[in-house]
Amino acid sequence: MHCIPSALPRSATTHRYGPARSNFAELFLPDGDGPHPVAVVIHGGFWKAQYGRKLMHDLCADLAAHGWAAWNLEYRRLGLRSGGGFPNTLDDVAAGIDALADHAAPLDLNRVVAIGHSAGGHLALWAATREDARVPVTAVAAQAAVSDLRMAWDLRLSRGVVVRFLGGKPEEIPDRYAAASPAERLPLRVPALLVHGARDVNVPLSMSEHFAAISGAELRVFDDEAHMGHIEPGNPMWRAVREWIR
């Protein structure tokens, strides 16, 4: 991998992991010699091109301030010429995480936690179910995650965007739902935390309640919180994630 200059927060660098325009990640390193535990940070936005990794900059800076190397992963999304959606988005997440094995930074690859918000929570949970990964995820924290893609279609989340993401309805392409939906890739083989705000209207709490019931993942519900509080460093939902991964 090689570093490409860009306008980033202080101490962050950008690194390519593949040929597509969106195949890159930003590395936020903490102070000290390391090796540093790694948080793979995956943004949400219902897999759509108008949302990107900048959503997670504040969380990445906060992770670095608390001793974690934050690997802020970008990936191909719906609406890009490079072709987001199934299977490219999933392939990108897998390749982006595995690229950590080639990095020269002092990283502790025995401690790699995936953290994702909304659709990024879907991708973080999916990454935790990969078999024979070059860089395995050792724990996952999912923030208001789209954890069940069939349920996402039933609820018509973001106007039924899961059909665009996978290419059809569950009855039309069941194999794709089975391959892409964390709810259909159980059991989880790593510790998992689900965090959800009870006032979330983008991804309803019932999604995390359902996934916790079928997976055994720990669920923490915050009564007065909504969807976007997850990506604010001062929010109690984020503090819960940061304390849990420690």
Within a domain: 43: yes
Count of the separate structural domains present in the chain: 1
Within a domain: 205: yes
Mean pLDDT, residues 86-107 taken together: 97
The Cα 244–Cα 13 span in angstroms is 26
Q: Locate tokens 């995936």: which residue? A: 114
Phi-psi region of 216 (alpha: psi -120 to 50; beta: other; left: phi over 0): left
**Residue 196: CATH number of its domain:** 3.40.50.1820
Beta-carbon contacts of 29 under 8 Å, excluding residues fewer than 6 positions away, are: 11, 36, 64, 69, 105
pLDDT tens per residue, range 119-161:
999 999 999 999 999 999 999 999 999 999 999 999 999 999 9
Within a domain: 103: yes
pLDDT tens per residue, range 160-197:
999 999 999 999 999 999 999 999 999 999 999 999 99
Within a domain: 6: no
Q: How far is CA 51 from the centre of its chain?
A: 13
Instruction: Provide the domain limits for residue 190.
Output: 11-245
